[in-house]
Structure 1
Amino acid sequence: MAEQLLYSTVKLTSSSNGVPSSTGTGFFMSFPFDGGRNVIVLITNKHVLNGATVVTAVCHVAEGDTPSGRFLPCTIANRPEFVVHHPAADVDLCALIFGPILNQAYEAGTSLFFRSIDPSLIPEPQDWEFFDAIEDVTMIGCPRGISDEVNNLPIVRRGITASALSKKYNGKEEFMVDMACFPGSSGSPIFLYDRNGYFDRKQNSYMLGASRLKLVGILYSGPLVTNDGRLVLAQIPRVAVNSMMHLGNALRSTAILQIESEIRRRLVA
């Protein structure tokens, strides 16, 4: 399961008029529709696309049912027909429609290898109150654009919830995590990934040896600390250095369901 998660996440490079401007993280999701059809999207933050004309994800080329070791840069235009924004302006979340990329690759004789996250991994509304006050969390992404470039795989980080998942942090559909979060990690999926057991508050017991996988959030920012320092030269200017705290702000994964509804509305229209 762990290896499958690695192939669900990609580094995104935003470019404007051919010049790379920033990096972020995106992850594949598959929304089931009638007739056995699935709509494949890349979930990321709205701000990852700010000022960009295109976004590029380097994808794995498939060899049968496995990755071949070859990669294909896939470019998505930052245009309304390819980008679906969360309907709330203050929710930093969007989806890149990936189906056209898959079709283009297939028509060129190339199949892409990835693993998409199923919406069933998003907790049900009644599940949130039964998460423990402190949970171990796993985040997969590309902090500061760092990834395993030879194998085209993201970086995995572990931490804990800094605010209780059962509570809406500051009254919003959000929570905080205690882990090192940096630019480039924006859009990273955050999971509860327990392989050897976890505490189930619903049953008030520890599920020894049981596994659990839930998509609980998407990182979108982190608080900064400004440090004032002195640089000793002929004159003494003041410099400000912004440093990241060991904290991150995350949207609850339920926000993805509003994007799914928006996609369904578009397809019906």
Structure 2
Amino acid sequence: MSHSPSTSEILLHSTVKITSISNGQKTGTGTAFYTLFNKTHESVQPVIITNKHVVDGADQISIRCHAADPETYKPTGDLIDVTVALHDTLINHPDSNVDLCSISIGSIIQQAMDRKTPIYYSPVTMEWIPTEEEWQYLDAIEDITMVGCPRGLIDEINNLPIVRKGITATSPSRDYNGKKEFMIDMACFPGSSGSPIFLYNENGYLDRKTQAYRMGQTRLKLLGILYGGPTLTNSGQIILNKGFEFEVSSMMHLGFAIKSTELKVLETLTLGL
């Protein structure tokens, strides 16, 4: 990638396929994305974000990262397999009903730099989380983009995830059923758990606060993180399925997403503030 990356290319390099491992055996796959928790204005803690159920019972995870040129910090095309022990790196959201966790990777990043083989990644920054006012001005139906690894599917050669498009199925400005969640209308499958969901308007959008259409302007916000979805059993009962692993007759092409504001809780715990 010799040119400056586009927004779309940045999104592709923001996520990674995550494989959970317990006692040396692979136990499942999911999606994680990079972000930076702010220690100070000059110091940050790199972490990856995924769901608790993706790493439940695992003692380590493996991810395949892109190598960066140590001089230009552009991807070289080489890949680096990384294993991260979860002891002392995994932080779970304190609310048992919020299926979210962070895994610190600062030591991995530093070790790669020390070996002159830095890791290239594009973090989803905390600044992409909508402000309280921005949440209120989101429309009831918004176009959304999800980046992840459904069924563990990725571009193996280029080590890049799969992009899906959809809409919000419930109003993102409201808390679905009183929880910090919203629903999405999109095909969601095993492996997609942990995928970031973006409000991504590339060529313009309606600013509901001013009622002006921002022609040609890009809007990019992190709205949430997928964690599960409703499925229809053989008896016709609708159930919540975390990880989409239950025996079912059909999926409903809907997903449940945790609002991105819950990342701020994890940031506070991770940094010990």
- Aligned partner letter, 1:71: L
* 1:35 Cα deviation after fit: 6.1
Identify the residue that residue 231 of structure 1 maps to in structure 2. Answer: none
Counterparts of 1:243 and 1:77, CA distance in 2:
36
* Structure 1 SS opposite 2:233: strand
Identify the residue that residue 13 of structure 1 maps to in structure 2. Answer: 19
Counterparts of 1:122 and 1:178, CA distance in 2:
21
Q: Deviations over 1:196-254 (max 9, x none)?
A: 111221112322222100001000001111236xxxxxxxxxxx644321100000000
1:180 is aligned to 2:187: yes
1:27 is aligned to 2:13: no
- Aligned partner letter, 1:188: S
Counterparts of 2:129 and 2:212, CA distance in 1:
22
* Structure 2 SS opposite 1:223: strand
Point out 4+ residue stretches in structure 1 off by more than 3 angstroms. Answer: none
* 1:78 Cα deviation after fit: 2.1
- Aligned partner letter, 2:78: R
Is 1:136–1:159's contact at 8 Å kept on the other side of the alignment?
yes
| Count of residue correspondences | 255
* 1:104 Cα deviation after fit: 2.0
Identify the residue that residue 219 of structure 1 maps to in structure 2. Answer: 226
- Aligned partner letter, 1:14: S
- Aligned partner letter, 2:37: F
Q: Deviations over 1:38-97 (max 9, x none)?
A: 100001101111111211110001123211111111111122x10111111111001010
Counterparts of 2:257 and 2:13, CA distance in 1:
21
Identify the residue that residue 169 of structure 1 maps to in structure 2. Answer: 176
Counterparts of 1:20 and 1:112, CA distance in 2:
24
1:56 is aligned to 2:69: no
When normalised by structure 1's length, the TM-score is: 0.91
Is 1:132–1:199's contact at 8 Å kept on the other side of the alignment?
no
Aligned partner of 1:250 among 257, 260, 270: 257
Pairing 1:1-269 to 2, within 5 Å after superposition: 1-34=7-40, 36-63=42-69, 64-79=72-87, 81-227=88-234, 241-265=248-272
Larger Rg: 1
* Structure 2 SS opposite 1:199: strand
Counterparts of 2:271 and 2:76, CA distance in 1:
33
Identify the residue that residue 3 of structure 2 maps to in structure 1. Answer: none
When normalised by structure 2's length, the TM-score is: 0.90
Structure 1 unaligned regions, length at least 5: 229-239
Counterparts of 1:40 and 1:243, CA distance in 2:
38
Counterparts of 1:257 and 1:35, CA distance in 2:
16
| Aligned alpha-carbon RMSD (Å) | 1.5
Counterparts of 1:165 and 1:173, CA distance in 2:
9
Counterparts of 1:177 and 1:85, CA distance in 2:
24
* 1:107 Cα deviation after fit: 2.7
Q: Deviations over 1:127-154 (max 9, x none)?
A: 1110011000000000010000100000
Is 2:68–2:75's contact at 8 Å kept on the other side of the alignment?
yes
Is 1:147–1:153's contact at 8 Å kept on the other side of the alignment?
yes
Structure 2 unaligned regions, length at least 5: 1-6, 236-246
* Structure 2 SS opposite 1:92: coil
* 1:257 Cα deviation after fit: 0.4
Counterparts of 2:176 and 2:96, CA distance in 1:
18
